[in-house]
Amino acid sequence: MELSTDQITAVFDEHYAGLCRFVTSIVGGTAAPEIAQESFLRLCQAELGTVSSDEIRFWLFRVARNLAINEVRRRSTRKRLWDRVSDAVLVSLRGPAEILEQSEAHKRVRQLLDELPEHQRSALLLREQEEMSYREIAVVLAVSESKVKIDIYRGRQRLRSLWNKEELRGH
């Protein structure tokens, strides 16, 4: 079954922003829109048969993740992964010192996330950033739900440990 233009437009409107956020977390801001668009292009070309909108969502995130991982590998250095992520615009009435402190904390979290294995980082980002259930994450990552739970648990534990080490060093 091929998707109609209206169906593709509806899927695009519903999932594009989340897909860009997820891909940005993997490759950075500049390549994310292109990878998200490539995922939708592949959806248009795919012969999926009869699938539900949830399955299309999982399919899109899986394809986007694979494309993003390929992009990271092609760049040949993991350090550049988070250098391309733009800081979110802070809309607040806080003073410059508080904004700087929050910005530094975000930067440290991004650096600590970089130290996690890719499978733990992806599972954590899908859970925390995209608010997916364990089952949904398992479908996107093509692993079992128990693997997702273990990866998220171990990822959180590792982040806590790394954060505490940073704090002890007075970072």
Judge if 122 and 150 occupy the same domain: yes
What digits encode the pLDDT tens for the residues 28-74? 778 889 999 999 888 888 776 666 777 888 889 999 999 998 887 77
Q: What is the largest CA-CA distance in the chain?
A: 58
Q: What is the value of pTM for the model shown?
A: 0.56
Residue 121 belongs to domain spanning: 87-171
Judge if 16 and 49 occupy the same domain: yes
What digits encode the pLDDT tens for the residues 114-156? 889 999 999 998 988 888 899 999 999 999 999 999 999 999 9
Q: Which residues contact 154 (CB under 8 A, 6 or more apart)?
A: 120
Q: What domain count does the chain have?
A: 2
